[in-house]
């Protein structure tokens, strides 16, 4: 599979920059391009929205954010955009997606993530959000995470997961 330069760049940076004085130079050397070219492409990918965020990725768990909950809600399809936007404007919400319902077995179409220091904090946030966003009438479930079996940066087509 032939990769474009942008794809090669994304693969090379997906697991993070080396923490040294000239990190972009180090990545550019790997890719056999110039540092200036790498910076220019990264800025373009950021502007185009291919890179949604470029920064320090903090792990939630070791810092005491032990309760990580996925909340699923069954809202009318015609209101999913409005309610999704409302929810995602809340600072405690990170990640908010529409996903397809799975019939009666799993009727939810709106998903969001809330991280908190403990269960009580997440539950309190959710109670408040339900009221503020007018979600109280809709069926929802909080799914707290229990065990983490695997967590690592994304794998991309044509590349293998770098650094194991």
Partner 1 sequence: MLTALEKQLLNDYQQEFPLTERPFLQIAQALSTREEVVIKAYQQFADQQIISRIGPVITPNHLGASALVAMAVNEEDLETVADLVSSYPNVNHNYERENAVNLWFVLMAEDESRLLNLVAEIEQRSGYTAMRLPMLADFYINLGFQLEWNDA
Paired sense of beta strands 110-116 and 67-73, if any: antiparallel
CA 6 to chain centre: 21
CA distance 121 to 116: 6
Q: Which of 5, 15, 34, 127 binds partner 1 (CB under 8 A)?
A: 15
Residues 57-76 contacting partner 1, CB under 8 A:
57-60, 62-63, 70
Q: Which of 2, 32, 137, 157 binds partner 1 (CB under 8 A)?
A: 157
Q: Which of 73, 75, 84, 122 binds partner 1 (CB under 8 A)?
A: 84
Q: Which of 8, 25, 74, 134 binds partner 1 (CB under 8 A)?
A: 25
Q: Which of 74, 98, 130, 140 binds partner 1 (CB under 8 A)?
A: 98
Q: How many residues bind partner 1 (CB under 8 A)?
A: 77
Residues 119-148 contacting partner 1, CB under 8 A:
141, 143-148
In the complex, minimum distance from the CB of residue 140 to partner 1, in angstroms, rounded to a whole number: 12
Which residues, at least 6 apart from 74, have a Cβ–Cβ distance to it below 8 Å? 101, 107, 108, 109, 110, 138, 139, 140
The DSSP symbol for 106 reads: B
| Token pair listed for 4 | 């474009």
- Residue the block writes with tokens 């990170």: 94
CA distance 58 to 144: 19
Does the protein bind partner 1 through residue 80 (CB under 8 A)? Answer: yes
Does the protein bind partner 1 through residue 114 (CB under 8 A)? Answer: no
| Token pair listed for 138 | 């809709």
Run of H or E residues at 11: helix 5-13
Does the protein bind partner 1 through residue 117 (CB under 8 A)? Answer: yes
In the complex, minimum distance from the CB of residue 31 to partner 1, in angstroms, rounded to a whole number: 15
Does the protein bind partner 1 through residue 33 (CB under 8 A)? Answer: no
Q: Of the two residues 52 and 137, which places its CB atom closer to partner 1 in the complex?
A: 52
């Amino acid at each position: 599979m032939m990769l474009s330069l942008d794809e090669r760049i994304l693969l090379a940076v997906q697991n993070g920059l080396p923490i040294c004085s000239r990190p972009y130079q180090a990545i550019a050397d790997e890719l056999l391009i110039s540092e200036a070219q790498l910076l220019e492409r990264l800025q373009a990918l950021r502007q185009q929205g291919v890179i949604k965020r470029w920064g320090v990725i903090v792990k939630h768990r070791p810092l005491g954010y032990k309760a990580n909950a996925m909340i699923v809600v069954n809202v009318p399809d015609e209101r999913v955009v409005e309610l999704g936007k409302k929810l995602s404007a809340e600072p405690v919400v990170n990640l908010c997606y529409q996903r397809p319902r799975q019939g009666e077995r799993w009727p939810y179409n709106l998903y969001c993530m809330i991280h908190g220091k403990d269960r009580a904090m997440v539950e309190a946030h959710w109670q408040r959000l339900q009221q503020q966003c007018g979600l109280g009438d809709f069926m929802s479930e909080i799914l707290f995470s229990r065990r983490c079996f695997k967590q690592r940066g994304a794998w991309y087509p044509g590349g293998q997961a770098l650094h194991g």
